[in-house]
Amino acid sequence: MSQPFRLDGRGRVDRQQPLSFRFDGTTYTGYAGDTLASALLANGVHLVGRSFKYHRPRGILAVGAEEPNALVELRTGARVEPNTRATQVELFDGLVARSQNHVGTRAVDLMAVNQWFAPFLKAGFYYKTFMGPGGAWERLWEPIIRRAAGLGRAPRQPDPDAYEHAHLHCDVLVVGGGPAGLAAADAARCAGARVVLCEQEPRLGGALLGEIDSLAPWVDEVASGFDGEDARLLGRTSVVGYYDHGVLAAVERVADHLPTPPEGVRQRLWIIRAGAVVLATGSYEQPLLFQDNDRPGIMLASAARRYLLDFGVAPCRQVVVATATDDAYRAALDLVAAGVAVPTIADVRAAPGPFAKAAEAAGIEVLRGAVPLRALGRQRVRGLEVSVDGSAPRRLEGDALLVSGGFQPALQLASQAGAKARFDPDLNAFVPREPAQNARLAGAARGVFRLDACLADGREAGASAARDLGFALPSLPPLPAVDEPEERPWPAPLVPRDGKRAFVDLQNDVTVADLRLAVQEGYRAAEHAKRYTTLGMGTDQGKTAMPAGLAVLAAATGRPLAELAPTTMRPPVVPVAIGVLAGRTRGRDFRPIRRSALHDWHERNGAVFVEAGDWLRPSYYRDGALSLMEAAAEEAMTVRRAVGICDVSTLGKIALFGPDARTFLDRVYANGFAKLPVGKARYGVMLREDGIVFDDGTTSCLADDRFLMTTTTANAGAVLEHLEFLHQTAWPELDVVFCSETEQWCQMALAGPRSRDVLARLLDGVDVGDLVLPFMGFLEAAAEGVPVRVFRISFSGELAYELACPRGYGEGLWQRCLDVGAAFGIRPYGVEVLSILRIEKGHPAGQEIDGRTTAGDLGLGRLVERSATGVGKPLASRRDLTDPGRPQLVGLRPVDPEARLRGGAHLVENPMAASTATDLGWISSAHWSPHVGSWIALAFVAGGVERFGDACLWAVFPLRNEAVEVVVGPVCFVDAEGSRLRG
Amino acid sequence: MAELRFRPPLQEAAHSGVHGVGTPSLAITVRNGVACCLVLARRGFAEVTAERLELSLEPGRATIGAERCCLPIAPGEWLVLEQWRADGGLRMQLEGDAAGLAYVSDQSHGRQVIRVAGPAARDLLGRGCRLDLHPRKCRPGFCAATSIAEYACALVQVDAVPSFDLVVAAGYAESFWLWLTDHAAMFGYRAAIETVDRP
- Residue A109: the pLDDT is 83
Distance of CA B76 to the CA centre of its chain: 19
pLDDT digits over A509-555, tens only? 999 999 999 999 999 999 999 999 999 999 999 999 999 999 999 99
How many contacts (CB atoms, under 8 Å) link A and B?
A: 155
Q: How confident is the model at residue A409 (pLDDT cuts 50, 70, 90)?
A: very high
Region A83-90: mean pLDDT is 96
Name the helix (H) or strand (E) containing A566. none
pLDDT digits over A845-871, tens only? 999 999 999 999 999 998 888 777 899
- Decide: A720 and A697 in contact? Cβ < 8 Å: no
Taking the Cβ of residue B169 and every Cβ of chain A, the question of whether any pair is shorter than 8 Å is answered with: yes
Single-letter amino acid code for the residue at A319: V
* Interatomic CA distance for residues A238 and A385, integer angstroms: 39
3-state secondary structure of A407: strand
Angle between helices A451-468 and A179-190 (to 10 degrees): 30
* Interatomic CA distance for residues A184 and A180, integer angstroms: 6
Q: Is the pLDDT of residue A152 over 90?
A: no
3-state secondary structure of A802: strand
- Across chain A, how many H-helices and E-strands are there? 26, 47
- Residue B3: the pLDDT is 60
Domain residue ranges in chain A? 1-156, 163-284+410-468, 287-405, 492-559, 618-650+744-837, 652-740, 884-982
Q: Is the pLDDT of residue A142 over 90?
A: no
Q: Would the CB atoms of A584 and B12 count as touching at under 8 Å? A: no
Taking the Cβ of residue B147 and every Cβ of chain A, the question of whether any pair is shorter than 8 Å is answered with: no
**DSSP secondary structure letters along A665-688:** HHHHBSS--TTPPTTBEEEEEEE-
Using only the alpha carbons of chain A, give its radius of gyration. 38
pLDDT in tens, chain B (199 residues): 446 889 999 999 999 999 998 899 999 999 999 999 999 999 999 999 999 999 999 999 999 999 999 999 999 999 999 999 888 999 999 999 999 999 999 999 999 999 999 999 999 999 999 999 999 999 999 999 999 999 999 999 999 999 999 999 999 999 999 999 999 999 999 999 998 766 5
Q: Would the CB atoms of A812 and B199 count as touching at under 8 Å? A: no
Q: Is the pLDDT of residue A497 over 50?
A: yes
Q: How confident is the model at residue A487 (pLDDT cuts 50, 70, 90)?
A: confident
Contacts A741 to B, Cβ<8 Å: 105, 107, 110
Q: Would the CB atoms of B103 and A657 count as touching at under 8 Å? A: yes
Residue of B nearest to A785 (CA): B4
- Pick the range with the lowest mean pLDDT from A125-129, A376-380, A400-404: A125-129
Q: Is the pLDDT of residue A1 over 60?
A: no
Q: Would the CB atoms of B108 and A591 count as touching at under 8 Å? A: no
Q: Would the CB atoms of B110 and A743 count as touching at under 8 Å? A: yes
Best mutation site among B4, B91, B138, B147 for testing chain A: the one with the most A CBs within 10 Å?
B4
* Interatomic CA distance for residues A957 and A955, integer angstroms: 7
Is cis: bond before A133, omega within 30 of 0?
yes
Q: How confident is the model at residue A224 (pLDDT cuts 50, 70, 90)?
A: very high
pLDDT digits over A640-650, tens only? 999 999 999 99
- Residue A394: the pLDDT is 96
Cα distances (Å, whole numbers) of residue A488 to A338, A341, A428, A449, B178: 25, 25, 12, 12, 61
pLDDT digits over A416-457, tens only? 999 999 999 999 999 999 999 999 999 999 999 999 999 999
Q: Is it true that A163-284+410-468 and A287-405 share their CATH fold?
A: yes
Domain A652-740 has CATH 3.30.70.1400: yes
DSSP state of A568: P
Residue of A nearest to B20 (CA): A263
Region A70-82: mean pLDDT is 93
Q: Would the CB atoms of B12 and A600 count as touching at under 8 Å? A: yes
Contacts B182 to A, Cβ<8 Å: 584, 589
Single-letter amino acid code for the residue at B149: A
* Interatomic CA distance for residues A747 and A415, integer angstroms: 55
Q: Is the pLDDT of residue A116 over 80?
A: no
Residue of A nearest to B9 (CA): A597
Region A923-931: mean pLDDT is 95
Percent of residues in chain A assigned helix, strand, coil, to nearest 5: 25, 30, 45
* Interatomic CA distance for residues A556 and A549, integer angstroms: 11
Q: What is the ipTM of this complex?
A: 0.97
- Residue B2: the pLDDT is 44
| Domain A884-982, CATH among 3.40.50.720, 2.40.30.110, 3.40.50.280, 2.70.98.30 | 2.40.30.110
CATH topology of domain A618-650+744-837: Gyrase A; domain 2 (3.30.1360)
CATH topology of domain A287-405: FAD/NAD(P)-binding domain (3.50.50)
Average pLDDT of chain A is: 94
In CATH, which superfamily holds the domain spanning A163-284+410-468? FAD/NAD(P)-binding domain (3.50.50.60)
- Pick the range with the lowest mean pLDDT from A18-27, A48-57, A719-728: A48-57
- Residue B131: the pLDDT is 97
Single-letter amino acid code for the residue at B50: A
Q: Would the CB atoms of B110 and A741 count as touching at under 8 Å? A: yes
pLDDT digits over A864-883, tens only? 887 778 999 999 999 999 99
* Interatomic CA distance for residues A549 and A519, integer angstroms: 12
B20: left (phi over 0), alpha (psi -120 to 50) or beta: left
- List the beta strands (DSSP E) in A844-972: 887-894, 906-908, 921-929, 934-942, 953-957, 962-969
Looking at the domain covering A1-156, what would its CATH class be?
alpha beta
Residue A76's CB: how many other CB atoms inside 10 A?
Answer: 11
Cα distances (Å, whole numbers) of residue B64 to A958, B143, B144, B152: 65, 11, 14, 22
- Decide: A69 and A545 in contact? Cβ < 8 Å: no
Residue B110 neighbours by CB under 8 Å, 6+ apart: A741, A742, A743, A744, A745, A807, B36, B169, B170
Three-state secondary structure string covering A78-113: HHCEEEEEHHHCECCCCEEEECCCCCECCCCEHHHH
Q: Would the CB atoms of B150 and A164 count as touching at under 8 Å? A: no
Q: Is the pLDDT of residue A983 over 80?
A: no
- Pick the range with the lowest mean pLDDT from A86-100, A492-506, A740-754, A941-955: A941-955
From the list B2, B76, B126, the residue facing A166 with the nearest CB is: B126
- Residue A143: the pLDDT is 81
Looking at the domain covering A492-559, what would its CATH class be?
mainly alpha
Taking the Cβ of residue B95 and every Cβ of chain A, the question of whether any pair is shorter than 8 Å is answered with: no
Could you say which residues from 51 to 90 on chain B have a Cβ atom under 8 Å away from some Cβ of chain A? 76-77, 87-88
- Residue A537: the pLDDT is 93
Q: Is the pLDDT of residue A484 over 90?
A: no
